Chain A
């Protein structure tokens, strides 16, 4: 449904945010993972037709999104990573405005706004000015506007930032539900969010696509490459400079270190002879992908 073809983006400052990025995305949730500055937000911004790429294009259901951005916007719901709202409008007025820009009008729009506000749990504060909203409430307004036009392509950049745990779970469930028959692209740092809803995962590093797999395949590729060891706390700093640590916890018997090693059992014993292999998590698999340890 969505075909990204050799997208590249170079900013006037010389920063290359994306380079030769190609990907085909089908129905369901694509989890986009990558460190800060990997190019995720630039990619999202290009797909949302807000930024023009330097080279390449993307095709949404036969429509070239760079040459014909309006063709994509008709199907689009977009929640940017960092967005502002008009503080002097109420949530209902703000959605009314954006709804009209989406081409909705009349009673349909008013009913839709009521329903969406209930969906994001803001029905009780719908007529309060946005200037008085908390960060989490603003984020939910952002989610509401993204869903307002019943989008076929939903692009959400760090959507759970600022949400409390309950709202985060609620949003994850909503996203999983929305994904039926639609393409959803979810960019986040929170691997557990991706794990909960993504049907495929794309890992981005330095503007390039490193891996595009299902979560199961990613996990399988990490098998035998994740280990655990208990080390004295005074050795921790040295160990962290030598091996990629994916997690650690301080206990009475020392620091429990979880680490990845692309070379598997052959590689890790030299550093930590007492370590044992453990079942990989998606976080481990992501770390391995970042290090170039998976195909």
Chain B
């Protein structure tokens, strides 16, 4: 085996092991398993994974054949790879930098290309493993509801062909975001979410449109998620279906949908070639990443977008070059001569201090959130939901790492040994994150309260739920990505008016007190789990 292959193999093994041993993987696996289980609804109900409408207005779905379950699972696999996968793997190079492993790696003969390729392959391997759990769930659902023989090609073919290019593209994009200035953290997570609309929707749809008919019937060349590809293929396999009437995903209809025989996605040469060639879309971001990668050299590190290098004053430069520079240094004072201080540690003061720190480290995002919060309070009622949606979107990255900040910086022993930190760090973080969230959302919270107490309570309970989610997921996974990934999914579902998921009551979801109380209870339950895990870590010394 060549040296390069060995180097890449070693990286893949280390990276995948590290990720598999993190509690974030467990949470992600549990969520994916649950999602995959729900994705294939029982036959004879109102919910479908794939449905279409005939010319006479009848809506149909397929019987639960291997082809149908395979097609539905392939769509889920593509979605998981693109939308969730990024949040699972992004930050790997950032972690090497922050944990100071980067400097050690930089001193090895490992070429830049091998390092970045190793990261991409590691991401691919990990995402294939994590996304792969949908396969046994699909098989299980076939065993429960399956009709006809198990056609392995019709089942596995679409899953592999739809998921693999998405995984490769996301793996390369995660590496690119990790090395691009200003995108390796929270700003990048939000940008990726915004970019998803273009990557998943706008670009593939634009390519698939037939200029003559105006119908999406051409296979797109660039479609990492494969959503548009699936729609086009289903359309080709169902000439009787009305153009543009195909629905994929977990759709709940008004009435029971009749099921008919369907041959599944046609695995023709065009489709197979396009999907396999789609893996090559990973190359442009990888190439760009190679250009931007600074090999952990602080001198080559580019400043984040928008920040200019600050000239160092002469006196300060002297201090940096020679910390003992006598030029401006007063004679060293004696410890015994320092003025006495009187400390009154309190949990309240600590909560406020942590909330202030949360604001200070919030970069430009905090001002955007404050502005959107104000706009949501004073704009006309019709505009408030969209501005509120922006507010809730940007809130996620701001608070995502608050509860694991110490773990990420390695400052845990310094911080947790302070007298003001309450006995439970989880509750401390819950207090500070809740305080921060309530302060920045105060204008629109007050507006909701004055509009109606029910709306006010909905907003309040929703925001507290978000704070609890951020704190508990941060503690459980040791990072902010898991929270951001799951929260953005919830946000998207709420925005699209999925029943019961309008967690803040912003998008017209009049859910009533019991549902609001359920949100608070769910937040409390997550916090309880985080407290139990944190307590165990403290005993085991792994905090």
Q: Do A and B bind each other?
A: yes
Residues of A within 8 A of B (CB): 9, 11-12, 42, 45, 48-52, 69-70, 73-74, 76, 78, 80, 82-89, 93, 97-98, 100-105, 108-109, 111-112, 115-116, 118-119, 121-125, 128, 132, 134, 136-137, 140, 142, 145, 147, 149-150, 166-167, 170, 174, 177-178, 180
The answer, among B333, B357, B416, B417, for a CB contact under 8 Å with A97, is B357
Please list 28 pairs of residues, one from A and one from B, whose beta carbons are closer than 8 Å in the complex, sorted by A's number.
Answer: A11-B540, A45-B541, A48-B413, A50-B412, A50-B413, A52-B538, A73-B419, A82-B410, A83-B413, A83-B414, A85-B409, A86-B361, A86-B409, A100-B350, A100-B352, A103-B344, A103-B345, A103-B346, A108-B341, A119-B333, A119-B335, A121-B323, A121-B329, A123-B329, A124-B329, A128-B316, A177-B334, A178-B335
Given contacts A102-B345, A103-B345, contact A73 B413 (CB under 8 A): no
Choose among B320, B352, B356, B417 the residue with the greatest number of A CB atoms under 10 Å from its CB: B417
Is the C-beta of B338 less than 8 angstroms from some C-beta in chain A? yes
The answer to whether B541 and A42 touch across the interface, beta carbons within 8 angstroms, is yes
B415 interfacial by beta-carbon distance below 8 Å: yes
- How near does chain B come to A220, taking the closest CB pair, in angstroms? 32
Contact B417 A73 (CB under 8 A): yes
Q: Given A74-B343, A108-B341, A108-B342, A86–B411 Cβ distance below 8 Å? A: yes
Q: Is the CB of A137 within 8 A of B332?
A: no
Q: List residues of chain A with CB within 8 A of the CB of B350.
A: 100-101
**Chain B contact residue count (CB 8 A cutoff):** 55
Q: Are A121 and B339 touching (Cβ within 8 A)? A: no
Tell me the nearest residue of chain B to A140, going by C-beta. Answer: B323
What residues of A have a CB within 8 angstroms of the CB of B415 in the complex?
Answer: 98, 101
Known: A50-B413, A86-B411, A128-B316. A73 touches B335 (CB 8 A): no
Give the residue name and chain of the B residue nearest to A87 (CB): B409
Whether A119 contacts B338 by the Cβ 8 Å rule is yes
Is B335 a contact partner of A105 (Cβ separation < 8 A)? Answer: no
B414 touching A124, Cβ below 8 Å = no
Closest A residue to B339 by beta carbon equals A111
Name which residue of chain B comes closest to A179, CB basis.
B335
Going nearest first, the 9 A-B pairs with the smallest beta carbon separation are A84-B410, A103-B345, A124-B319, A100-B353, A73-B419, A101-B418, A103-B343, A80-B413, A84-B409
Q: How far is the CA of A45 from the CA of B423 in the complex (A)?
A: 16
B398 vs chain A, min Cβ distance (A): 14
Nearest A-chain residue to B414, judged by Cβ:
A83
For the complex formed, measure the closest distance between the CB of B224 and the CB atoms of chain A, giving whole angstroms: 33
Chain A hits for B540, CB < 8 A: 11-12
Partner of A147, one of B329, B335, B413: B335
